[in-house]
Structure 1
Amino acid sequence: MSTLQIGLAIIGGLVLAGVVAYNAWVTNKNAPRTARERVPAPGGSVPGPEERAGDENLPFAPADVTESDVQRVEPVFGDEPGVPDPVEPAEVSMAAASVGISPLVSQPPEKRPGLDALIDVIAPLVLEHEVSGDALLAALPGTRRVGSKPFAVEGQSETTGEWESPRLGQRYRALQAGVQLANRSGPLNDIEFSEFVVKAQAFADAVGASPDFPDMRAEVLRARELDAFASGHDAQLGFMLRARRTSWSPGYVAQHAAKLGFVAGALPGRMVLATTQSGNAPILSLVFDSQAAMAEDPEQSALREIALSLEVTHVPRSEQPFLRMRQAATALAEAMEGVVTDDGGQLLPTEALDQIGTDLESLYDALDSRDLSAGSPQARRLFS
């Protein structure tokens, strides 16, 4: 072999090695960022919640909650035998502020909200004699809905005097039936009111009670008025966090979100920031592609955007949800090299965020003026 051939062979080998090295570099650069193993603190222990949270000057709960600690609670009147758990609603569209149609993840409340004349049609059921809770439960209809609205029966406790869902072993001298005036499916209509009358009458006949129904036209008119108010004050907020350069893996996102107090939600690709009050809705939801979360090897799944959302009417103003949403979005964007945008990909400047905060204060005031304060049982039922 001549010197020329040897030189050409060497050059060819170097070029081939360079191509292989370049391809490996490109592949590594474009691979999604993955979660890193937690480095033990001095002494071999894993940093505790206080140490983990110490990196952020944010008012979030420490990330020491597991998925099993957070359960989903729907704003309903009571347990309905034979009815499966509700399906998780679709995540909100990520507009800066919108009126629309949603999720609740939290610990179950000690007492479910009962009928309220503010948002329910209530019909007294007059009894000639006291009746047992066992008999009431046996006479309840198979479904607790009238059309798209929740239906409920309550008895006045003989011991406490409070209205409650019928319970075994209890005695009741007064009953009432009710149906919700409005929800995100719209106002109670004539057909639904008639169905309510039929269902309540059948129950009353079974337990020996005489119902006293209110005027249908007046109640339907009240339902429309309540629905009009709710439609104009049903706000949901959302930010998009988009990767500037390298994509993220689901584990990478979860690792950074956990530092801010987020825990796994009820569905794959969903995390929530739990409230401090038992039974309340989560303060924030963080959502990413569920397909990536369920992949055989999630760490090889590439995410280029995640959504951060706030169900305004479900979270009390005292939790400062919008402030915490802004702080979470900023912290995640800085930690993961991303940017905060609206659903159209437009950057959200400080001025726009300040204006949203101002508008929210007006919304909270309007809800308060109707005794439908954000996060209250009545608001959570109405906006569901």
Structure 2
Amino acid sequence: MSGFTLGLALIGGLILVVLVAWNAWTTRRNTPRQPEAMRMDPTDSTVSVQPVTDFDPLAAPPNLTEKRPGLDALIDVLAAISVEAPVSGEAALAAMPPTRRAGSKPFAVEGQNEATLNWETPMAGQRYTAFQAGVQLANRTGALNEIEYSEFVSKAQAFADAINGSPDFPEMLDEVARARELDQFASAHDAQLSFTLRAKNTAWSPGYLQQNAARLGFVPGAIPGRMVLPAATPGAPAVLGLAYDTQAAMADDPAQSALREVTLSLDVPQVDRAEQPFVRMRDTAITLAASMEGSITDDNGQVIRAEALDVIGADLEQLYDTLEARDIAAGSPLARRLFS
């Protein structure tokens, strides 16, 4: 074999080796990271697998009851309804409108319990000496408008007629103006934060992400592709949300689904300040980025530096103070209703 031919053979062999190595590297890079196998002591008979309760970030978990926040003049239009004689809870429930909304605003009726004198949602077996109907002044859909106010009046009047009551409605223009002012305040002090965690090299499988998030206290949410960090108080909204591709979560073989980014979110007004939600959000992002070889970015893909996180934290402290000064503290029943 001539030297020239031998050289070509060596070059061809080298190219083949490079191609094989490239193929292996590419396959490894495109194969999503898998969760670590669980290690259990075969002699340990106490290990059991329990289903995880789904959590919704804006609702109470199943099987945990929480009293519905009562009507409040701070964020509701209130119409007093007087009655000549006590009304049974059964009669009040029968008179309720089929829907509990006036346009996009929640509508509710409360009665004053004859025995306890407390205001509450009417219940069977109780008697009520007075009632009040209410509609929320504002929420994230905007301020109460004239059409919604008129629908409120119509529903409250129909309820009053059914129980032989007499309603007293506040002036519409005054209430609509109050709704606009509250909506302006809420819009200026609403905060929904999110960080995006992006894989630097190898993608993640849903199982790999779930395993790493579970180590930090996250549990599966009610929606595929979502995990949440439960609050310390039963029935309270989740502290943080972690969302990824729904189709990847529902794939026939999730282990082969490749995730290159996930979103960590915080709905600031919904979560009690005492939970230290932003501190936990920042720590969660840093820990997950380190353990999964990812980077913390904003919606535009720009890396978020540690100093920027400190600035955000300082701004949130001012926001918490402002909400508390308005008697709408983050995580309170009023804040959860207003910012929904």
User: TM-score, normalized by length of structure 2?
Assistant: 0.91
Percent sequence identity is 60
Pick the aligned partner of 1:113 from 46, 56, 69. Answer: 69
In structure 1, C-alpha distance between the alignment counterparts of 2:47 and 2:29, rounded to whole Å: 30
Are 1:33 and 2:17 an aligned pair? Answer: no
In structure 1, C-alpha distance between the alignment counterparts of 2:14 and 2:315, rounded to whole Å: 64
Pairwise CA distance, 1:42: 8.7
Are 1:72 and 2:72 an aligned pair? Answer: no
Aligned residue number for residue 284 of structure 1: 240
Contact 1:105 1:272 in 2 (8 A): no
Are 1:365 and 2:316 an aligned pair? Answer: no
After superposition, what is the alpha-carbon deviation per residue over 1:348-379, rounded to whole angstroms, capped at 9, x for unaligned? Answer: 11111111011000000000001000000000
Alignment of structure 1 residues 1-384 onto 2, 5 Å: 19=19, 22-40=22-40, 44=44, 66-68=51-53, 70-72=54-56, 103-104=58-59, 106=61, 108-384=64-340
Aligned residue number for residue 57 of structure 1: none
Contact 2:29 2:203 in 1 (8 A): no
Helix, strand or coil at the partner of 1:223: helix
Higher relative contact order (CA 8 A, sep 6+): 1
In structure 2, C-alpha distance between the alignment counterparts of 1:318 and 1:225, rounded to whole Å: 28
- 2:290 aligned partner, one-letter code: E
Helix, strand or coil at the partner of 1:67: coil
User: TM-score, normalized by length of structure 1?
Assistant: 0.81
Q: Are residues 234 and 47 of structure 1, via their aligned partners in 2, closer, same or farther at CA, if it must alter by over 3 Å?
A: farther
- 1:338 aligned partner, one-letter code: G
Worse-matched range after superposition: 222-231 or 38-47: 38-47
Contact 1:34 1:248 in 2 (8 A): yes
Aligned residue number for residue 76 of structure 1: none
Q: Are residues 348 and 72 of structure 1, via their aligned partners in 2, closer, same or farther at CA, if it must alter by over 3 Å?
A: closer
Pairwise CA distance, 1:301: 0.6
- 1:113 aligned partner, one-letter code: P
- 1:138 aligned partner, one-letter code: A
In structure 2, C-alpha distance between the alignment counterparts of 1:344 and 1:45, rounded to whole Å: 50
Pairwise CA distance, 1:66: 4.7
Contact 2:111 2:130 in 1 (8 A): yes
In structure 1, C-alpha distance between the alignment counterparts of 2:184 and 2:195, rounded to whole Å: 27
Aligned residue number for residue 94 of structure 1: none
| Structure 1 unaligned regions, length at least 5 | 49-63, 74-102
- 1:186 aligned partner, one-letter code: G
Contact 1:39 1:46 in 2 (8 A): no
- 1:38 aligned partner, one-letter code: M
After superposition, what is the alpha-carbon deviation per residue over 1:308-335, rounded to whole angstroms, capped at 9, x for unaligned? Answer: 0000000011110000001100110110
Helix, strand or coil at the partner of 1:303: coil
Pairwise CA distance, 1:47: 8.6
Q: CA RMSD in A?
A: 2.6
Contact 2:112 2:131 in 1 (8 A): yes
In structure 1, C-alpha distance between the alignment counterparts of 2:159 and 2:141, rounded to whole Å: 25
Pairwise CA distance, 1:37: 1.3
Contact 1:105 1:274 in 2 (8 A): no
Contact 1:106 1:282 in 2 (8 A): no
Aligned residues: 335
In structure 1, C-alpha distance between the alignment counterparts of 2:177 and 2:334, rounded to whole Å: 19
In structure 1, C-alpha distance between the alignment counterparts of 2:222 and 2:24, rounded to whole Å: 38
